[in-house]
Amino acid sequence: MAYVETQTLSNSQFKQGLSSGLPIALGYAPAAITFGFLAETTGLTLMEATAMSMFVFAGAAQYMALNLIAIGTGALEIIFTTFIVNIRHFLMAASLEKKSEPDKPLKKAGYAFGLTDEVFAVTATRPNIVTTGFIFGVFLIAYGSWVANTIIGHWMGGFLPDLIQNSMMIALYALFIALLAPAMKENRKVILLAISAALLNGVFSLFMAEGWAIVLATIAAAVLLELRSIYDRKMKGEL
Amino acid sequence: MSIEILLLIAGMGIVTYLPRVIPFLWLGNKTLPRWLENVLQNVPYAALGALIFPGILWVHDNVLFGLLGGAVAFFFAYRGSHMIVVVFSAIFALLLLNLFVEPFF
């Protein structure tokens, strides 16, 4: 009986994950269609473009790879650039690990594959412990959209009119704002964290690669705000 | 599929997956010092800030488009609208800007 109950619970968590991931699926559509289209113009076959979306699943890095392929860059350099662009996910994974429900390493290794910026943002901003089912739900709907729309983009070329495609560029930023704004209302620390990381990133991205700038800005803001909390606790004599 | 592209995809896949999976396997049962736990708790909202800005400025040649779209999203999000509503409102705002303001630039 208990077994059946946990099964139903995790099943509904999975469904909740699917529905919370829907905005990501929507936001990925134009990005993946564009990727498929650009891959086609870069000379990748449908199989190659689809395989890249299936096995890499990293938007920014995939775009960058196309650019580098187009200008004739070697594979090792492309792989190294991919690593630099995606190193920020190390930090996100460490953060989500502390928030996620304890589970078998194999399951965690499974959903870890899907930890894009957007999947992290939707799962890590949940109020309590995040369940495995929920993370899988968010991951799979986002992944499905990414792969399916890569195929559509490659097939149909510039299938979406430019007007729509240009307007949909805002979608993923709107998603991040949708996750941030409600939390800002409840907690002043969230405001300080987001604004300081945004400003630091603005400065860092002037003189370093985007991937590093995001990592450093995030760490710096997270550490600064923790130092501030430690200082506050000291002043109150708690330490 | 050419062998070079296949190797490239494999390599890209591995270097993308490793940073995503290592913390899950490595931190599994470890208790971290309290300050580090707190820092990791701070990460999601700091990351959101860094992911939004300055990237949002580059959604269009004119930085105002991104800022206005972001402001519309913020307005609906702050009022507590559903995420899908927030996303669609921002897309719609950009659609209007592209249709009616773009021709004047």
Please say if the pLDDT value at position A4 is more than 70.
no
- Cβ-defined contact of B47 to A88 (cutoff 8 Å): yes
Cis peptide before B44 (omega within 30 of 0): no
Report A:195-234 residues touching B (Cβ under 8 A).
195-202, 205, 213-214, 217-219, 221-223, 225-226, 229-230
Report B:22-81 residues touching A (Cβ under 8 A).
22-25, 27-28, 32, 35, 37-56, 59-60, 65-66, 69-70, 73-74, 76-78, 80-81
Per-residue pLDDT, A206: 94
Tokens of B7: 């190797």
> What CA–CA distance (Å, rounded) separates B82 from A106?
33
A207-238 pLDDT tens trace:
987 777 888 999 999 999 999 999 988 888 76
Phi, psi of B86 (to 5 degrees): -60, -45
What residue ranges do the domains of chain A occupy? 2-169, 187-239
Considering only CA atoms, give the Rg of chain A. 20
Per the prediction, chain B carries an average pLDDT of 91
Per-residue pLDDT, A105: 93
What ipTM was predicted for this assembly? 0.90
The chain B residue lying nearest A195, using CA atoms, is B49
Per-residue pLDDT, A160: 66
**A2 — pLDDT class (breaks 50, 70, 90):** very low
- Cβ-defined contact of B21 to A112 (cutoff 8 Å): yes
- Cβ-defined contact of A98 to B41 (cutoff 8 Å): yes
Residue A205: DSSP 8-state: T
Query: What separation in angstroms does the CA of A232 have from each of A205, A225, A239?
Result: 31, 10, 10
Per-residue pLDDT, A7: 59
A103-128 pLDDT tens trace:
999 999 999 999 999 999 999 999 88
Tokens of B54: 């300055």
Q: What value does the mean pLDDT take over residues B59-67?
A: 93
Per-residue pLDDT, A9: 67
